[in-house]
Structure 1
């Protein structure tokens, strides 16, 4: 019934008023196409399609929006699209998000693509925006084509590539709240007509609104392009980033009540020092144009990441936590993590455009190989059970109202986990989009995956291995109702291996998914304003969730579902105003009961999924005026996030919040730009995400920054 109503709504939109004029489309189409095509190297898994020809919703976060809001990290950038919700960020040391209500393992960072390569896995810290041209949120069933992704969608980061025949550069520096200092550089050098080098780097040092928490990070992200011939381009990209920041589990809620301690209060131990997250990645791609209709794209990537350091984390077990009794004494574990990961990817595809039986076919066929190895060494000290009447030192207590850091000697650690997980995957895929008429196209395709997973306990030598294979089909249809409007529907299935094991060492079964989407893509105001309205329903089996009885581990919760509607609109309004609007209603819930009477928790069918708001809205307006004869760009935005579940298997929710931001950029000279931005202008107290009622990430108060950008 739900899907029937959504399909009816999408069909009704196809009979929109004449404002969606026929003459609007060609210019709008070309603008839309340019947003998803990279000069020199195509995007993998994409093929040659205009946005309105694709039976799939696509969200684009461009470089102008990133610069307007002075966004420097991936998580903040994804806030601009309402289909994406923040998840557990592992003490500020990784990116984690859900698209259309679904994330992967809550104890792993979210995967993403970089220029079409699987690249988000591992422990290299949050992704910085330096070197990013744009971010694509590729939603819906077609995400299965990319392999090993979530059914809600896949995030693809498109990096800034070396440009042939261009010598130019840009440097910037900014200073912001809490003594945040940042510098960026981007210099492109053309080496004749056949080679180019682009040098990109950043450095950032900052305090924070969190007591005693400071961070430092830097990165070098160069790109090299070489023309091997008139139809052949080779590109190489390096990612070298380093980050140091204390592990920070955030604040606590006492008996479910937030705000009893200030959001600035750090509940770890400064004596633990910073965690160190490192990433070194290489990416090589070769593109060859056989002719105007056939293209080859292939390459490989290799990425090493590591995470190392100490932390003091609130104990979650009620039997060991005196905070649940006296409301002020927080017992803490102490941990030492030494995580290493290696991720290798090889891929190749051929795209062709040909006629068969009088019908136009656009074919995409390819194969990929993915190998991910994860070494996890964890030492831990855990507070003893309260039944043994432990001392405050034994429980590693901190008073949440009157904290005294370094009150006790740091506890000595013992072995907890020493494990290696290795996942190897092979995939082949095929997609054909057939033009049945000038206005009607169908898409058929599928992907076959074969996984093997090995999980080995290095301490005992015990190992478990599993192998899986599956074919995942996809189907789509696109009808161009007019040159300014298209209506589409799509269905796809997915298959994703769950890496790792539960607290008992059992290897997880893979996730399987089914997705259905209908929508319409439209152009208003003669193509100046474009948008997508989509409705979807997703179902996923063998879903993992945080294990309430064993923090840091996951447990399977069976089946989960997500359904909802989205509206994304972007472009120019009358009088020069620029609009960015993204709204999503998402109903994501558990579909099966998971009850463990021994550990005292229950996850019931109908329970919402962790950190997923039903309502999410981001809207932004900008305009450009002249000041002293020079352009001044000003804008403001509002971000609203609804109430979310804050702990799996519990009745604890994070409250809704609304944030207001503003920005301004002025060019007193054509090569000089002054910029400023302010976030959370109303100084709202808010909580973006949590893992449990004792691990809650607080949001920053009102902040601002200003800087200068010089182009040459």
Structure 2
């Protein structure tokens, strides 16, 4: 079946190519400044990105591996989770959900729990973003591979996830999507935009309402409300001001997943080891304003201000350890309040000029971040539970105050990047970032502080052998101050990383691009899950990840689109005081691959019908840094079909995990392993104008 579907689509595409001339899409004019890189992407292949250089740059001219997942891929796959969007990208894997609270990812073998929205990182003082990111207002998802500290400051060495939001448009349009499926899944998603060109004002409103009963009967339902308004004012052709905000309210069961027994996880995927009262709620909002001004033909000025604030509360049954009998799981009750706020002020400028045959682009900027987090943690006793025959109804014992903690981070930064292009063949890119940070923590009355300076450099080059073939190579470093405390109350030293990368980018045919990249990354002062004290971290030594990646995106034949990836990773501990050298990193597969393709009939009686199918495969993975257990690899097959029942309405049917494969999606520790969902059927109706 895996091979039959692509073959069938290939044959169908070849017939369509012979039967009908190529369809030429109308040109789309993006309103606004020339710097803008957030216009809609047509199809599966993006041609430009703003992540790698903070400017509107053609991907063919970017000397670094960058993968863009466009909106069209998300819609064809019926994707509503960021996890499902990123499984299309090479060497990116889910890294757990923090007890069903947030997203975490492994990029090139290294864990990250943060991401950027429109180029601005989320609160760096918080350990993670409390709440799952809704995709209703996203235009595309960009993944910048390797360290991105020069332009984004705090960032993990594996890479940066940048979520590019939909911006207001002057042309009126809108959509309403109603989705329903198995396990009580219901989602209503909307998006509407329009403006008055004579006033220079356009607005957009996106959002969703989601409810999911889940396939685990004891766990409580998940509900999420998300809304994202934005307004753009363009007083003239050289100036644009965009104001936006988001707000979400999420509730759901607190759930650490399954527990490893012996050398693997063998219990049923629908087992739940919490209680009916175990839940988590998070509420968060942000407000941002971005101003762009084309001061002269060669100078662009930008200013961005972002405020965010959020709160989360969990009242949960937490797993602690497995008893000697191999089936009794000890637990404790937790009552935790978590609050965070941050402000990010960024100003940068880009100058473009020519000196003889050389074209120059210089970007310089300054940034100030003030971020806070406060935590109050109560814990108490809770009865154990049997893994093989769980019985519910336990009530927590007396809760005692365990931790009161406040973290404050102030960071002032300056960065400079210069790009030189010669004859559209050779591109040289170099830069550095200077960070001065001061971090203060008060934990149970004990005060600690850390601070210092850091310089993160970057250098890369691209040479175009032919118009459709380019080689690139680069070197970069990363720097991440570590927030929080260990179980003993000790602080953490900043984490650093260094990467070497080389690759080739080729246009296989017009509209179809493949990128092959080789890399080697070293990471020092790494935080890892405390194997003894659940919910805490420990700081380990040096880790290394090296490998090769392949990403392919675009149109193979008229109507036949492909988005595929593959990766080989060797990610291990190099030196450590806690774990033996040579241990495989947690959750990192040696091999992984994805292949998604779709075919849309462009004429005939089936005109508008879109058939899609894909395979996602992952090899076996280690469950912890001790390598005390492993989880098996898996192959998952997804299908989708959509058809326009009216010029303004389209129905879609999607099947995830067609073969009902049973697998662990993200191992984190012996008491935290997240199972993949069973076969799920979703149906949706989309109205648009």
TM-score by length of 2: 0.90
1:629 shift after superposition: 4.9
1:575 shift after superposition: 5.7
Query: Is the aligned partner of 1:444 residue 2:443?
Result: no
Matched-pair contact (CA < 8 Å) for 2:260–2:629: no
CA distance in 2, matches of 1:47, 1:35: 6
Secondary structure of the residue aligned to 1:630 is coil
Aligned residues: 645
Secondary structure of the residue aligned to 2:205 is strand
2:531 aligned to 545, 548, 554, which one? 548
2:406 corresponds to? 420
Q: For 1:284-433, what aligned pairs fall within 5 Å after superposition?
A: 284-316=289-321, 323-356=322-355, 359-382=358-381, 396-406=383-393, 408-433=394-419
Higher helix share: 1
Matched-pair contact (CA < 8 Å) for 2:418–2:431: yes
CA distance in 1, matches of 2:604, 2:237: 46
Q: For 1:87-486, what aligned pairs fall within 5 Å after superposition?
A: 87-104=95-112, 110-119=113-122, 122=126, 123-142=129-148, 144-164=150-170, 166-193=171-198, 194-213=200-219, 214-259=221-266, 261-272=267-278, 274-316=279-321, 323-356=322-355, 359-382=358-381, 396-406=383-393, 408-457=394-443, 459=444, 461-486=445-470
1:487 aligned to 465, 471, 484, which one? 471
1:579 aligned to 555, 562, 570, which one? 562
1:36 shift after superposition: 8.4
1:77 corresponds to? 85
Secondary structure of the residue aligned to 1:67 is helix
CA distance in 1, matches of 2:242, 2:458: 31
2:494 aligned to 486, 501, 510, which one? 510
1:412 shift after superposition: 2.1
Matched-pair contact (CA < 8 Å) for 1:56–1:141: no
Matched-pair contact (CA < 8 Å) for 1:277–1:305: yes
CA distance in 2, matches of 1:333, 1:297: 50
2:651 corresponds to? 674
Matched-pair contact (CA < 8 Å) for 2:143–2:162: yes
Matched-pair contact (CA < 8 Å) for 2:471–2:504: yes
1:144 shift after superposition: 3.7
Matched-pair contact (CA < 8 Å) for 1:630–1:668: no
1:435 shift after superposition: 2.1
Q: Per-residue displacement from partner, 1:128-164 (whole Å, max 9, x unpaired)?
A: 1110110000112455432111122100000011112
Matched-pair contact (CA < 8 Å) for 2:60–2:505: yes
- Judging changes above 3 Å, is the alpha-carbon distance between structure 1 residues 635 and 36 closer, same or farther for their aligned structure 2 residues? farther
Query: Is the aligned partner of 1:695 residue 2:672?
Result: yes
Secondary structure of the residue aligned to 2:260 is coil
Matched-pair contact (CA < 8 Å) for 2:559–2:599: yes
Q: Identify the range of structure 1 (183-192 vs 139-148) with the bigger mean alpha-carbon deviation.
A: 139-148
Secondary structure of the residue aligned to 1:130 is coil
- Judging changes above 3 Å, is the alpha-carbon distance between structure 1 residues 677 and 120 closer, same or farther for their aligned structure 2 residues? farther
CA distance in 1, matches of 2:164, 2:506: 25
1:344 shift after superposition: 1.2
Matched-pair contact (CA < 8 Å) for 1:521–1:532: yes
2:14 corresponds to? none
Matched-pair contact (CA < 8 Å) for 1:455–1:463: yes
1:240 shift after superposition: 0.3
Structure 1 stretches of at least 4 aligned residues deviating more than 6 Å after TM superposition = none
CA distance in 2, matches of 1:438, 1:136: 24
CA distance in 1, matches of 2:365, 2:166: 25
CA distance in 2, matches of 1:489, 1:558: 27
1:627 shift after superposition: 7.1
Secondary structure of the residue aligned to 1:418 is strand
CA distance in 2, matches of 1:594, 1:555: 11
1:668 shift after superposition: 2.0
Secondary structure of the residue aligned to 2:135 is coil
Matched-pair contact (CA < 8 Å) for 2:486–2:537: yes
CA distance in 2, matches of 1:79, 1:144: 26
Higher strand share: 2
Q: Identify the range of structure 1 (359-368 vs 644-653) with the bigger mean alpha-carbon deviation.
A: 644-653
Structure 1 residue ranges without an equivalent (≥5)? 1-26, 105-109, 317-322, 383-394, 596-602
Matched-pair contact (CA < 8 Å) for 1:646–1:691: yes
CA distance in 2, matches of 1:529, 1:681: 28
Query: Is the aligned partner of 1:651 residue 2:638?
Result: no
1:448 shift after superposition: 0.6
Structure 2 residue ranges without an equivalent (≥5)? 1-24, 41-47
Q: Identify the range of structure 1 (335-344 vs 46-55) with the bigger mean alpha-carbon deviation.
A: 46-55
Matched-pair contact (CA < 8 Å) for 2:247–2:285: yes
